[in-house]
């Protein structure tokens, strides 16, 4: 069974020179990001130092004006007649510095001001609440924002419904009644998901989840990155790195996903061209990055590359043309394939793979935000 038309999407061989250049560019990006981070820390330190200096100089100016007033006060001149017990002259430099009390305006009695006072840690130790939840390994930042808006998160025994609300590790944070803290040991697991498993950390209906397959992999609390339908198989990343999960699922980074689709009847060349040109679905326009026959001898086997994170997007594309998807298998996610991983099995990522994953398509995100 030939798969050559589909192999252009996966496992493309790199020449020696091209591979060296890619590695060189990745190292260059890592150095630039590291240097930018250190420069930002230096800038913040300078700003804090300048603020401290300005506070001190303002106090000195106030005390200086007081000293000038004391100097201007008339006193007995040298050689003049002085009364008993009176000093010959007064030294203005020996005056004590006056204590200046800053007046603080009273806080407004509003809900936002009230919640801002919950956390008393320094600003450099704080982070958004949804980011804290993601770093604790509960779920990704998007899912964390939904939990917060649903009123399922408490900070210091007060319900918070604003995801950007800033917290620190000193705060007492609970999600669904369970106390959480930031994970120190980051774990990265690559799973070849089988059918009949749902992509979630738990299920109220008692159905099998992907967490049942990796429960012996680590003692840390981990969660799946993105979602695969119950009957969709293939590559799935599971981790407790919430920051990475946020980036991998954000549309601006355009993380590549390649699927092998088996539909109930042959797909014509005209239909492939229509899909390749983009179609309008109920939630907007969608256009795959590439599409071709996965098997030259079987027109019902299609390979499609897409970076959209919309719900059930591949199935909906083919259902739009009246096809019924019999099997859907994700054969590639980012830089990973299911090679050497049997269905239902998993493996840990190597240190090299983790480094590559953390810098995957970072230039895309920089271009979008610049």
**Domains of the chain: residue spans and CATH:** 111-179 (3.10.290.10), 185-369 (3.30.2350.10)
Please, what sign has the CA dihedral across residues 327, 333, 338, 344?
negative
Q: Is the pLDDT score of 70 beyond 90? A: no
Q: What is the arithmetic mean of pLDDT over 184-197?
A: 91
Give the global pTM. 0.57
Confidence of residue 208 (pLDDT cuts 50, 70, 90): very high
Distance CA 291, CA 9 (A): 9
Rg (CA), the chain: 31
Higher pLDDT, 266 or 357: 266
Q: Is the pLDDT of residue 122 over 80?
A: no
Predicted local confidence at residue 154, as pLDDT:
93
> Among 250, 239, 69, which residue's Cα sits nearest to residue 138?
239
How large is the average pLDDT for residues 339-368? 79
Structure tokens at 86: 């009176």
In angstroms, the CA 226 to CA 235 distance is: 11
pLDDT higher than threshold 90 for residue 20: no
Q: Is 29 exposed, middle or buried (0-12, 13-18, 19+ CB in 10 A)?
A: middle
Share of the chain above pLDDT 70, in %: 74
pLDDT at 124 over 60: no
Residue 341 has pLDDT above 90, yes or no: yes
Average pLDDT over residues 230-235: 94
111 pLDDT above the threshold of 80: no
* CA angle, 344 then 345 then 350, to 5°: 145
Kindly indicate the confidence band of residue 67, based on its pLDDT and cuts at 50, 70 and 90: very low
Of the listed 123, 202, 203, 229, which one is catalytic?
A: 229
What is the pLDDT, as a whole number, of residue 3? 53
Look at residue 107 and tell me whether its pLDDT is greater than 50.
Answer: no
Active site residue 229: yes
pLDDT in tens, 276-318: 999 999 888 999 999 999 988 999 999 999 988 788 899 999 9
Give the span between the Cα atoms of 228 and 250, in whole angstroms: 16
pLDDT at 361: 62
pLDDT recorded at residue 10 = 56
Strand pairing partners for 261?
302, 328
* Listed ranges 51-65, 159-173, 244-258; the one with the highest mean pLDDT: 159-173
Identify which has the larger pLDDT, 15 or 243. Answer: 243
| The pLDDT value given to residue 319 | 93
Q: What gap in Å lies between CA 140 and CA 200, rounded to an integer? A: 11
The strands making up 158-159's β-sheet, listed across from edge to edge, are 158-159, 153-155, 173-175, 178-179
107-111, 171-175, 196-200: range with lowest mean pLDDT: 107-111
Per-residue confidence (pLDDT) for residue 1, from 0 to 100: 47
What's the Cα-to-Cα distance from 17 to each of 13, 23, 24, 29, rounded to whole Å? Answer: 12, 10, 10, 18
31 contacts 37 by C-beta, under 8 angstroms: no
């Amino acid at each position: 069974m030939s798969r050559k038309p589909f192999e252009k999407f996966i496992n493309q061989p790199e020449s020696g020179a091209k591979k060296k250049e890619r590695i060189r560019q990745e190292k260059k990006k890592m150095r630039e990001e590291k240097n930018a981070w250190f420069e930002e820390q230096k800038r913040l330190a300078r700003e804090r130092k300048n603020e401290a200096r300005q506070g001190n100089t303002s106090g000195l100016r106030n005390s200086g004006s007081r000293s000038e007033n004391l100097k201007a006060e008339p006193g007995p001149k040298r050689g003049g007649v002085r009364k008993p017990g009176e000093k010959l002259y007064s030294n203005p430099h020996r005056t004590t510095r006056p204590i200046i009390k800053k007046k603080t305006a009273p806080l407004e009695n509003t809900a936002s001001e009230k919640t801002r006072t919950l956390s008393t840690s320094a600003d450099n130790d704080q982070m958004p609440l949804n980011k804290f939840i993601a770093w604790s390994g509960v779920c990704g930042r998007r899912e964390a924002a939904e939990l917060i808006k649903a009123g399922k998160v408490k900070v210091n025994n007060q319900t918070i419904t604003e995801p950007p609300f800033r917290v620190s590790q000193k705060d007492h944070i609970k999600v669904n009644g369970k106390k959480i803290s930031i994970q120190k040991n980051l774990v990265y697991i690559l799973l070849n998901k089988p059918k009949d498993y749902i992509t979630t950390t738990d299920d109220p209906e008692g159905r099998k989840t992907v967490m049942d397959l990796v429960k012996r992999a680590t003692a840390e609390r981990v969660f799946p990155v993105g979602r695969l339908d119950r009957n969709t198989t293939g590559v799935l990343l599971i981790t407790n790195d919430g920051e990475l999960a946020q980036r991998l699922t954000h549309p601006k980074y355009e993380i590549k996903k390649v699927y092998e689709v088996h539909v109930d009847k042959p797909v014509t060349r005209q239909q492939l061209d229509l899909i390749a040109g983009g179609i309008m679905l109920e939630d907007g326009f969608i256009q795959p990055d590439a599409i071709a026959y996965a098997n030259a001898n079987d027109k019902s086997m299609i390979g499609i590359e897409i970076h959209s994170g919309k719900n059930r997007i591949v199935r909906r594309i083919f259902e739009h043309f009246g096809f019924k998807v019999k099997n859907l298998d994700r054969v590639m996610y980012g830089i990973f394939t299911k090679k050497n991983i049997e269905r239902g099995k998993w493996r840990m990522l190597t240190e090299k793979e983790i480094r590559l994953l953390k810098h995957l398509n970072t230039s895309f995100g920089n271009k979008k935000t610049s």
